[in-house]
Structure 1
Amino acid sequence: MPHPQDVPWLDDAAGRLIRPYTVSDGRTRPTAALDMLSMVRATGAEPHGHLGPEHTQALGLCERPTSVAEIAAYLRLPVIVTKVLLSDLVDCGAVATHAPRFDDQPTDVSLLEAVLDGLRRQL
């Protein structure tokens, strides 16, 4: 992952050099259904059309499955702006998304009951 100081629109002394919503051309509605836990991964397909440097950086963060929240943190952008960038990448076939995978093992009922009992004793 790139070091935050390697991001071209950040400067240690000046801070952010570009307003966040400039990156998304003022758009606040992604075209793809993404939430903060959606996993995004590069497809290896060459993106069609013009991509800005922020798109390229986001694509670089998607070499392995990475959550939208992680990508937003690395880019130091609001999540909604990151969703717009990622949905642009989805639309041009450069990335694919899927819902996060949770452990398929059933929850241990005895553990949940012990937690509930402990909470009841505290009240």
Structure 2
Amino acid sequence: MTRWMDEEAGPVVRPYALIGGRTRSSGDALDLVSMITATGTVPPGGFVPGPEQERILSLVATATSVADIASDLDLPLGVVRVLLGDLHDHKLISIGRASASERILKEVINGLRAL
């Protein structure tokens, strides 16, 4: 992925410009440990995934957590959730819920944040 950086100014394209300034989508309910998998369907009705969404689709060929996606893309979690919400709305990804062991991991993460 090409980085849009200026040595002095930092990112040339702000992350929220990638999602048109939106802060909410159907992806808001995604947990950090939710597992995302590409469905392999063709985008319906003229929807064309952007470069970041194409990268997400390549990452989730096998089940990948929301946290790992955000880390791999080096984007804020809120931005990734909006991108994932758009992909889910167009049925390009499926969302797996956390299992019991993932639930425990989530509780540990929340406990660490509380410190």
TM-score bracket, normalised by the shorter chain, equals 0.7 to 0.9
Per-residue displacement from partner, 1:26-64 (whole Å, max 9, x unpaired)? 111121331111110001111231221111111111111
User: 1:87 is matched with which residue?
Assistant: 85
Q: How far, CA to CA, are the matches of 1:9 and 1:18 in structure 2?
A: 9
Normalising by structure 2, we get a TM-score of 0.75
8 Å CA contact 2:38–2:92 kept in 1: the answer is yes
Match of 1:8 among 2, 6, 10: 2
Q: 2:76 aligns with which of 78, 81, 92?
A: 78
Measured in 2, the distance between the counterparts of 1:12 and 1:36 equals 30
* Structure 1 segments (4+ residues) deviating >4 Å: 10-15
* Structure (1 or 2) with the greater helix fraction: 2
Q: Structure 1 vs Structure 2: percent identity of aligned residues?
A: 40
1:116 alignment counterpart: none
- When normalised by structure 1's length, the TM-score is 0.70
Between the two proteins, the alignment pairs up a number of residues equal to 98
Look at both structures and tell me which one has the larger radius of gyration over its CA atoms: 1
Asked if the contact 1:43–1:96 (Cα under 8 Å) also holds between the matched residues in 2, the reply is yes
Choose the corresponding residue for 2:66, options 61, 65, 68: 68
Unaligned 5+ runs, structure 1? 1-6, 104-123
User: 1:31 touches 1:84 (CA, 8 Å); kept in 2?
Assistant: yes
Structure 2: segments with no counterpart, 5+ residues: 102-115
Contact 1:69 1:79 in 2 (8 A): yes
Larger relative contact order (CA 8 Å, sep ≥ 6): 2
Q: SS where residue 96 of structure 1 aligns?
A: strand
